[in-house]
Amino acid sequence: MVLSAFSAPGQFYRGNLHTHSNLSDGALDPAEVCRRYRAEGYDFISLTDHFIGQYGYPIVDTRPFHEDGFTTIPGAELHSGAMENGELWHILAVGLPYDFAPPEAPGFFPVEGQESGADIARRARDAGAFVTIAHPHWSGLTLNDARSIDAAHAVEIYNHGCAVGCDREGGGHVLDLLLSDGRDMTLIATDDAHFTEPDHFGGWVMVKAEVNDPDHLLRALKQGDFYSSQGPEIRSVSLTEDAVTVECSAVSSVIVQGHGQAAAATHGRSMTRADLPLARFAASPWLRVTVVDAAGRRAWTNPFRL
């Protein structure tokens, strides 16, 4: 069996799914944000400004910035309700319709009577969005918090802005616990770019689609036909009863993770193929793969079930 991201028809398109402009708390206007990502070789982005009253609940229309080879998906970062630590939820919604009804969210603080994080996430998914639990480490997310968002498609496993700004980059721990709960979820790497510090061009998704347009990209995201990266390329992942075979750009480590303590790794120099036995994963209902290059940059497959 070959994972669908590597067997589905089409080609890979590079995109960033978490970006801000000066229509919320970013430094650059939407046109310049799109220009910079296009200039850096990205095929698409989603501009996901903070969807709060302080900024007029923006869902930015980036269609005027589409060009040959570059497109955008409408989106926003949603905020409503309090997490267990008393702070406001941050939920990424890519593919959000422009007429999505705003919550009662005047600013970056929870208010009495507003809808919960779980409710606004469900409403976004029902409206057609690809929904992600944003930056779990930065947010101080608890497992109970994460479990409550039953509409999420994905978890941010890497957030470049959080890595640069406060060394709270990840969501792998939360993701793995949800997978072991039986949730079917994917993972994304993002920038969360504001262009106020070096928080851009550090994490992205590689989406397999037949056409580089919003509808095809969004469908592929929901189907899990993508992988995430800080630099390395994953070219194929195939599974037999006994082993996982990974083909990739030159890396120094290939790691397979599963439920609990289940993990296996192989290390070397400029490896472009690795076969990892599945003996340690007999009790694991799910697996995912990480590759690491000589500079420490990682790429991640989506989780898959045995």
pLDDT in tens, 121-165: 999 999 999 999 999 999 999 999 999 999 999 999 999 999 999
Q: Is the pLDDT of residue 85 over 90?
A: yes
Question: Per DSSP, what are the bridge partners of residue 189?
Answer: 158
- Average pLDDT over the chain, rounded to whole? 97
213 shares its domain with 266: no
Domain end point (choices 229, 254, 273): 229
Predicted confidence (pLDDT) at residue 188 exceeds the cutoff of 90: yes
The rounded Cα 298 to chain-centroid distance in angstroms is: 14
| Band of residue 1 on the pLDDT scale cut at 50, 70, 90 | confident
pLDDT tens for each residue of 265-305: 999 999 999 999 999 999 999 999 999 999 999 999 999 99
Q: How confident is the model at residue 306 (pLDDT cuts 50, 70, 90)?
A: confident
Contact 67, 39 (CB under 8 A): no
Q: Are residues 214 and 293 in the same domain?
A: no
For residue 121, the model assigns a pLDDT of 98
260 and 131 in a common domain: no
Say yes or no: 118 and 264 in one domain.
Answer: no
For 174-187, how does the pLDDT look when each residue is reduced to its tens digit (9 = 90+)? 999 999 999 999 99
Task: Name the residue range of residue 122's domain.
Answer: 4-229
In this structure, the answer to whether residues 74 and 217 fall within a common structural domain is yes
**In terms of domains, do 82 and 203 share one?**
yes
Let me know whether 69 and 162 are in one domain. yes
Q: Provide the number of structural domains found in the chain.
A: 2
Task: Measure the CA–CA gap between 298 and 290, rounded to whole angstroms.
Answer: 7
Q: What's the confidence (pLDDT) of residue 33? A: 98
